[in-house]
Amino acid sequence: MPSRFSSVVPWGRAHARAQAVMMNLVSKLKQSNYQIAVVTAVLVVILAFWKPHVLVEGLQRACLYAVIALPMALILGIVGIINLAHGDYMMLGAYFAYWLNVYTGMDPLVAILPALAAFFLIGIASYRAIIKYVLGAPELNQLLLTFGLAMVLEQLANLIWTSRPMKQPLKYVSSSANIGSFTFGTYEFVYVAAAMVVLVGLLLFLKRTDTGQAALAVGQNPRGAKLVGIDVDRTYLLIFSLSIALIGAIGAIFMTRHSIFPLVGAPFTMKSFCLIAMAGIGNLTGILWCSLILGLAENFVLSFRGYSGWADILFFALIVLVIVVRSRQRQVK
Amino acid sequence: MKNWRYLLYIVIFIWLLTLPLYTGVYLLNVLDIILIYLALALSWDMLLRSGQISFGMAGLFGVGGYAAVLTHLNAGLNPLISIVMGGLVAGVLAWLIGMAVLQLRGMYFAIVTLALAEIFRVIVRNLPDLTGGPEGTVLPSAIFAGNSTKTYWLVLTVAVISVIASEIFRRTRIHFALTSIRNDEIVAKSSGIDVFKYLVFIFAITSAIQGITGGAYAHIYGFVSPEGSFSVDFTLLPIAMALLGGMHSTWGPVVGAVVLGVVSEFLKLQIPYGHLLVYGVIIVITILFFPEGIVGTLGQKFKGNR
């Protein structure tokens, strides 16, 4: 009966349109990106009323994770190797900014610029000396090589600077603001800013510039890119060095707030890979959403007294879960 | 020719067995460490022969150590039986994990094993009632009351067991199954090899060896702790040894363990902090310049000369 009227009666058309909108929404919800966004939004609203601390600190922590994971995702997506020494380059960047501050008094946030330049060169050197030779090698060799590289960097730092944690006192990092009776640190929003700048910058670079387009093409199909005249080796070199430069600069931001020691970067390598695996290789925006979920969830667990030790497990449990579930999905298809 | 070879093995074995009669305690302690890493390197290589790389060795090593210590303290098991229990627990755990994650290949499997090792460490650290929490658990006394000769024989047994297991896997159909899985999984599957079953089997066996080694280590030194028993050393050093010696063979990891074990004893005296740097450099150089390792490179040279 309703079907006969639906085309005639105005509310029937509105109903149909609403239905179409709903269908559209439902089909969008089936995409993992939108699912992740919706889950995040619901979590955020609940948290804002219940535990505002968790929300603000979780946001800051999430953006720190995201900004560290982004350069790694760039390397993995385009050069195609998983860099297990990723966090250790960040550690080097932190030490770079630290010693620049000690000797010249340069502010670590200003040291971002020299760090970018220095780590671009370090990236070129690493690529030319080591990475280049395993590009065509089996995955096993790549993993072991970057694993060995991570050990070299960590132990070198340990040898030169010892394992004593170092920290430079900076006045502005402990600034805070109030909303009603709720006090929170404002300096940590620098991570949020950094994450936004890096993400938007990378997206613009990849989508709007010729070099970025060439890099994307190389990431999709190196042989095809070579056929249309793209210098694949130079693109690899550029992307690798660019990522190392970014992570070095992030190290400079990182050392303003955290004390640094040789093993400070290692956990971030794992966490970055976890985020990339969750978002899917090549999905830069997805990394931000995934890190929001993880950052909020981690701070949520941390906020319970006596159970904070379990927060570390969240990341690793999630990475195992996500990878296993994804592999099952792929098999079903 | 072949019989001479077996005779050589027996002579070497008897020499190793009677070593405590005419050497000092220091050398025996060094040998203990070398043999423990030898067993770990071999077990890692045995899994590698199927093309799967595991970074979770330290996790299963630590689980074996904790299982051995806890069954000894709480259930009152004989230390030797509790070491076997450590292997059993690690093996069963790996079997269960393998059923869940061995669909994964390459870097995904590697990362998952690394994550699992971290998960074990966090769990152990956060269960103070059972495991002693971050401080770990100390045994009232080391195994055999610290008698270095008996300790050496125990470690030698563990190492010989892993060498024999490795040789058995080299000579039976398991070897062919694993090698074909490594070379081309689709071909292996279409020639009737149950890939998943073989992978779970080899993962459980190698993990059991790692668990036994961990149990022996825990009983020899008389304590377990989250940072000590799950130390990244137990992942890194065996990998460096197997790589340096040569992958996919029994004698590669053995040679690598002996060479690196002796070298590291000297390095420890020369550079107390950061002697691990040398291991990292060895891994990088080996991968870049001679991925076949010592045994593989020498073997090729001899074959070329003939």
Q: What is the pLDDT of residues A286-311, one digit of tens each?
A: 888 888 888 888 888 888 777 777 87
Quick check: helix, strand or coil at residue B290? Answer: coil
Which chain A residues are closer than 8 Å to B51 by Cβ? 140
Residue B305 is predicted with a pLDDT of: 52
On the CB side of A186, CA atoms within 13 Å amount to 7
Nearest CA-CA distance, residue A147 and chain B, Å = 8
Mean pLDDT, rounded, for A267-291: 84
Higher pLDDT, A82 or A15: A82
Asked whether the beta carbons of A230 and A214 are under 8 A apart, the reply is yes
Which chain A residues are closer than 8 Å to B239 by Cβ? 144, 147
Inter-CA distances, B195 with B48, B55, B178, B192, Å: 14, 21, 8, 9
> Do residue B239 and residue A159 have CB atoms under 8 angstroms apart?
no
Q: Predicted confidence band at A166 (pLDDT cuts at 50, 70, 90)?
A: confident
Asked whether the beta carbons of B38 and B159 are under 8 A apart, the reply is yes
Nearest residue in A to B119, CA atom: A313
How many domains is chain A partitioned into structurally?
A: 1
The maximal CA–CA distance of chain A, rounded, in angstroms, is 84
Residue A10 is predicted with a pLDDT of: 52
Which chain A residues are closer than 8 Å to B106 by Cβ? 139-140
Residue A115 is predicted with a pLDDT of: 92
Q: How far apart are CA B116 and CA B142, in angstroms?
A: 29
Nearest CA-CA distance, residue B233 and chain A, Å = 11
Out of B106, B119, B273, the one facing A317 most closely (by C-beta) is B119
ipTM at complex level: 0.76
Residue A58: inside a domain: yes
> Do residue B108 and residue A313 have CB atoms under 8 angstroms apart?
no
* A147 lies within 8 A of chain B by CB: yes
Nearest residue in A to B115, CA atom: A316
Inter-CA distances, B240 with B57, B105, B157, B244, B260, Å: 13, 22, 23, 6, 8
Residue A2: inside a domain: no
Which chain A residues are closer than 8 Å to B103 by Cβ? 324, 327-328, 331
Buried b (16+ CB within 10 A) or exposed e, B159-198: bbbbbebbeebbeeebbebbebbbeebeebeeeebebeeb
Residue B252 is predicted with a pLDDT of: 87
The amino acid sitting at A320 is V
Out of B100, B116, B284, the one facing A130 most closely (by C-beta) is B284
Nearest CA-CA distance, residue A233 and chain B, Å = 18
Query: Tokens standing for A23?
Result: 């269908």
Residue A4: inside a domain: no
Residues 6+ apart with CB under 8 A from A234: none
Which chain A residues are closer than 8 Å to B273 by Cβ? 158-159, 162-163
Nearest CA-CA distance, residue B61 and chain A, Å = 19
* A306 lies within 8 A of chain B by CB: no
Mean pLDDT, rounded, for A188-194: 87
> Do residue A312 and residue B122 have CB atoms under 8 angstroms apart?
yes
Residue A30: inside a domain: no
CATH classification at residue A188: 1.10.3470
Which chain A residues are closer than 8 Å to B126 by Cβ? 309-310, 313
Which chain B residues are closer than 8 Å to A316 by Cβ? 115-116, 118-119, 122
Asked whether the beta carbons of A194 and A115 are under 8 A apart, the reply is no
Residue A297 is predicted with a pLDDT of: 83
* A206 lies within 8 A of chain B by CB: no
> Do residue B119 and residue A313 have CB atoms under 8 angstroms apart?
yes
Nearest residue in B to A313, CA atom: B119
Q: Predicted confidence band at A172 (pLDDT cuts at 50, 70, 90)?
A: confident
Nearest CA-CA distance, residue A3 and chain B, Å = 49
Residue B24 is predicted with a pLDDT of: 81
Q: Predicted confidence band at A2 (pLDDT cuts at 50, 70, 90)?
A: very low
Q: Predicted confidence band at A5 (pLDDT cuts at 50, 70, 90)?
A: very low
Q: How far apart are CA B106 and CA A14, in angstroms?
A: 52
Which chain B residues are closer than 8 Å to A134 by Cβ? 287-288
Quick check: helix, strand or coil at residue B11? Answer: helix
User: CA nearest A297: which of A325, A280, A322?
Assistant: A322
* A329 lies within 8 A of chain B by CB: no
Nearest residue in B to A146, CA atom: B284
Nearest residue in B to A271, CA atom: B115
Domain that holds residue A252: 36-332
Q: Where are the domains of chain B?
A: 25-305
Q: How far apart are CA A247 and CA A86, in angstroms?
A: 8
Instruction: Identify any residues that bridge with A185 across adjacent strands, giving them in sequence order.
Output: A176
Most confident of A158-167, A181-190, B141-150, B271-280: A158-167
> Do residue A144 and residue B282 have CB atoms under 8 angstroms apart?
no
Residues 6+ apart with CB under 8 A from B80: B143, B154
* A274 lies within 8 A of chain B by CB: yes
Residue A27: inside a domain: no
> Do residue A152 and residue B284 have CB atoms under 8 angstroms apart?
yes
Asked whether the beta carbons of A151 and B279 are under 8 A apart, the reply is yes
Most confident of B188-192, B244-248, B293-297: B188-192
Candidate from A78-87, B52-61, B134-143 with smallest mean pLDDT: B134-143
Candidate from A58-67, A71-80, A300-309, B34-43 with smallest mean pLDDT: A300-309
* A18 lies within 8 A of chain B by CB: no
CA angle B142, B145, B147 (to 5 degrees): 105
Residue A278: inside a domain: yes
Out of B48, B107, B119, the one facing A316 most closely (by C-beta) is B119
Asked whether the beta carbons of A186 and A176 are under 8 A apart, the reply is yes
Fold (topology level) of B25-305: ABC transporter involved in vitamin B12 uptake, BtuC (1.10.3470)
- Tell me, letter by letter, the H, E, C secondary structure of chain A: CHHHHHCCCHHHHHHHHHHHHHHHHHHHHCCHHHHHHHHHHHHHHHHHHHCHHHHHHHHHHHHHHHHHHHHHHHHHHHHCCCCCCHHHHHHHHHHHHHHHHHHHCCCCCCCHHHHHHHHHHHHHHHHHHCHHHHCCCCHHHHHHHHHHHHHHHHHHHHHHHCCCCECCCCCHHHCEEEECCEEEECCCHHHHHHHHHHHHHHHHHHHHCHHHHHHHHHHHCHHHHHHCCCCHHHHHHHHHHHHHHHHHHHHHHHHHHCCECCCCCHHHHHHHHHHHHHHCCCCHHHHHHHHHHHHHHHHHHHCCCCCHHHHHHHHHHHHHHHHHHHHHHHHHC
pLDDT tens by residue, B83-105:
999 999 999 999 999 988 888 88
Out of B114, B279, B291, the one facing A141 most closely (by C-beta) is B291
- Residue in the structure block whose two tokens are 């936004």: A196
> Do residue A143 and residue B287 have CB atoms under 8 angstroms apart?
no
* A135 lies within 8 A of chain B by CB: no
